[in-house]
């Protein structure tokens, strides 16, 4: 082989190697797959160990913090989990002011080169899971701080006109209401329950998420407690409920609040499409993110305690919320990808006019670097379910059956000597992943 040809071959090989290193062949979702498998195998400690040992680029630092915080919580390490979430929230604030250099790099290469700052619903979930950690620890004041931060964050999203699905999170409103109620702040609880009810109605029109029956009872109890008699009568008529447990009655009992975090949120994948660019009659290839759903595996949880049997209700459909939010952002993502593809085409065309090899290398660079941003908070559940049980103060053995799609018991969990205190709420969270949930579906 002649020296010029050898140089051309070396140049091509070096360029390919450089670009492969730049792009990163393995996506964040690929690196999380072994961790998800350990969660399905009920080995949460092993899952946490794998994540901790995973080498994460700095641009994915937020994802690492969110996932590690979640896995720590799954392992009952609530203090350490809250510390990770606190660091994640601080990082979100820093990343919200995206640098000009990162914007330029994203325009030239792909959106995945930017530091991941979290989708709006993910940023809200940071506060919610921090609050749940504090509730598990019995630290109501700290949970209330998180509730106030949620109110502020949702208010900010409302001011940005991101749409009702994202400016008002029904589960966020409900959990803040629960926190206010736990602290005896019935006026604030009523406002939050009412906001949750309106948010559930809005979300119900967009994807499967009904108004929980439990929320209807909460609205009746809260409106009665603050003396909103006319509103109370209207709720009773609308919900067809003629009796409920009053705030005074609940004060003499202990209450179990059980949360079932079911499955794993959907995974983002890359989808390539061809886009026409007028008026040049140019066709360019762009890569867009899409979601791959993961079947939950479990349908619901059935609680048995003190001779009573209660099933959880769906309070959050994170899978559908994530998909809806991506659909909202897709036009902007497509516009950026198309502009980037046209720019890469122009650079390749111009380089080819000056030097054929240079044109080939620039064109190859454009093809290899055109990747969709498929990052997301992967340890979030697909859905969150909840059940509340009020009982006389004391210790109770709690048995939980996780039911499959046919309503048959698939997994059993035991919580012995669960202590309920008069006038207080005891929070227990259960994170479970079924083996079948790792199989994606469109």
Distances from the Cα of 210 to the Cα of 198, 206, 215, angstroms: 11, 11, 11
Given this model, what pLDDT does residue 156 score?
Answer: 81
Given this model, what pLDDT does residue 334 score?
Answer: 84
Q: How many CB atoms lie within 10 A of CB 317?
A: 22
Q: How far is CA 172 from the centre of its chain?
A: 12
Start-to-end C-alpha separation, the chain: 50
Of 207, 408, 204, 380, nearest to 297 by C-alpha is: 408
Q: How far is CA 381 from the centre of its chain?
A: 7
Comparing 212-221, 230-239, 432-441, the range with the smallest average pLDDT is: 432-441
Ranges of each domain in the chain: 1-36+253-442
Q: What is the rounded distance in angstroms from the CA atom of residue 108 to the CA atom of residue 343?
A: 8
Which tens digit of pLDDT belongs to each residue from 13-36? 434 434 444 444 457 788 898 999
Q: What is the mean pLDDT of the chain?
A: 85
Give me the half-sphere count of Cα atoms (radius 13 Å) on the Cβ side of residue 397.
Answer: 5
Mean per-residue pLDDT, 289-316: 93
Q: What is the rounded distance in angstroms from the CA atom of residue 370 to the CA atom of residue 373?
A: 10
For the chain, give the percent of residues with pLDDT over 70. 79
DSSP 176-232: HHHHHHHTT-HHHHHHHHHHHHHHHHHHHTTSS-PPPHHHHHHHHHHHHHTT-HHHH
**The model's pTM:** 0.87
Which tens digit of pLDDT belongs to each residue from 178-192? 999 999 999 999 999
Given this model, what pLDDT does residue 291 score?
Answer: 92
pLDDT interval class at 64 (50, 70, 90): very high
Given this model, what pLDDT does residue 12 score?
Answer: 45
pLDDT of residue 73 exceeding 50: yes
Q: How many CB atoms lie within 10 A of CB 213?
A: 11
Put the strands of the sheet holding 383-391 in their side by side order: 313-317, 383-391, 254-262, 425-432
Give me the half-sphere count of Cα atoms (radius 13 Å) on the Cβ side of residue 300.
Answer: 14
User: Rounded to 5 degrees, what are φ and ψ at 82?
Assistant: -65, -35
Highest mean pLDDT among 251-255, 268-272, 282-286: 251-255
pLDDT of residue 374 exceeding 70: yes
Q: 372 with 288: CB under 8 angstroms?
A: yes
- Between 80 and 360, residue with greater pLDDT: 80
- Between 168 and 69, residue with greater pLDDT: 69
Mean per-residue pLDDT, 248-276: 91
Burial of residue 106, with CB atoms counted within 10 A of its CB: 0-12 exposed, 13-18 middle, 19 or more buried: middle
3-state SS class at 126 = helix
Mean per-residue pLDDT, 95-111: 57
pLDDT of residue 440 exceeding 90: no
Q: Which helix (H) or strand (E) holds 58?
A: none
Q: What is the rounded distance in angstroms from the CA atom of residue 265 to the CA atom of residue 49?
A: 21
Put the strands of the sheet holding 394-403 in their side by side order: 308-311, 300-305, 394-403, 409-420
Given this model, what pLDDT does residue 308 score?
Answer: 96
Of 173, 167, 85, nearest to 126 by C-alpha is: 85
Q: 381 with 318: CB under 8 angstroms?
A: yes
Of 294, 298, 319, nearest to 434 by C-alpha is: 298
pLDDT of residue 358 exceeding 80: no
């Amino acid at each position: 082989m002649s020296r010029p040809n050898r140089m051309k071959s070396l140049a091509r090989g070096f360029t390919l190697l450089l670009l492969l290193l730049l792009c990163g062949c393995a996506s964040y979702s690929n690196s999380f797959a072994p961790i998800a498998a350990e969660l399905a195998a009920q080995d949460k400690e092993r899952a946490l160990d794998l994540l901790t040992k995973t080498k994460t680029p700095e641009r994915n630092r937020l994802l690492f913090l969110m996932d590690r915080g979640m896995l720590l919580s799954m392992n009952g390490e609530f203090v350490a989990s809250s510390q990770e979430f606190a660091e994640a929230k601080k990082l979100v604030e820093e990343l919200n002011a995206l640098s000009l250099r990162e914007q330029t790099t994203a325009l030239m290469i792909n959106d995945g080169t930017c530091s991941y700052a979290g989708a709006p619903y993910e940023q809200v979930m940071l506060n919610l899971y921090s609050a749940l950690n504090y509730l598990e620890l019995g630290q109501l004041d700290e949970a209330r701080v998180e509730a106030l931060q949620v109110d502020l964050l949702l208010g900010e999203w409302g001011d940005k006109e991101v749409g009702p699905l994202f400016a008002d999170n029904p589960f966020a409103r409900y959990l803040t209401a629960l926190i206010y109620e736990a602290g005896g702040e019935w006026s604030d609880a009523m406002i939050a329950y009412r906001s949750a009810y309106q948010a559930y109605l809005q979300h119900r029109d967009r994807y499967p998420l009904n108004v929980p029956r439990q929320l209807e009872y909460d609205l009746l109890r809260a409106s009665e407690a603050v003396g909103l008699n006319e509103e109370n009568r209207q709720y009773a008529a609308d919900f067809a409920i003629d009796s409920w447990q009053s705030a005074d009655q609940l004060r003499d009992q202990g209450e179990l609040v059980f949360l079932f975090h079911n499955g794993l949120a959907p995974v983002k994948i890359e989808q390539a499409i061809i886009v026409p660019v007028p008026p040049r009659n140019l066709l360019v290839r762009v890569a867009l993110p899409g979601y791959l759903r993961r079947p939950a595996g479990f349908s619901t949880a059935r609680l048995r305690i003190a001779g009573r049997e209660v099933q959880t209700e769906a309070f959050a459909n994170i899978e559908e919320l994530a998909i809806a939010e991506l659909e909202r952002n897709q036009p902007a993502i497509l516009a950026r990808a198309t502009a980037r593809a046209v720019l890469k085409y122009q650079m390749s065309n111009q380089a080819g006019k000056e030097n054929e090899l240079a044109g080939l290398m620039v064109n190859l660079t454009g093809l290899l670097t055109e990747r969709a941003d498929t990052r997301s908070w992967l340890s979030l559940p697909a859905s969150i379910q909840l059940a509340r049980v009020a009982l006389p103060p004391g210790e109770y053995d709690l048995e939980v059956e996780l039911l499959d799609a046919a309503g048959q018991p698939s997994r059993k969990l035991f919580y012995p000597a669960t202590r309920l205190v008069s006038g207080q709420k005891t929070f227990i969270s259960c994170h479970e992943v079924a083996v079948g949930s790792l199989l994606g579906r469109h």
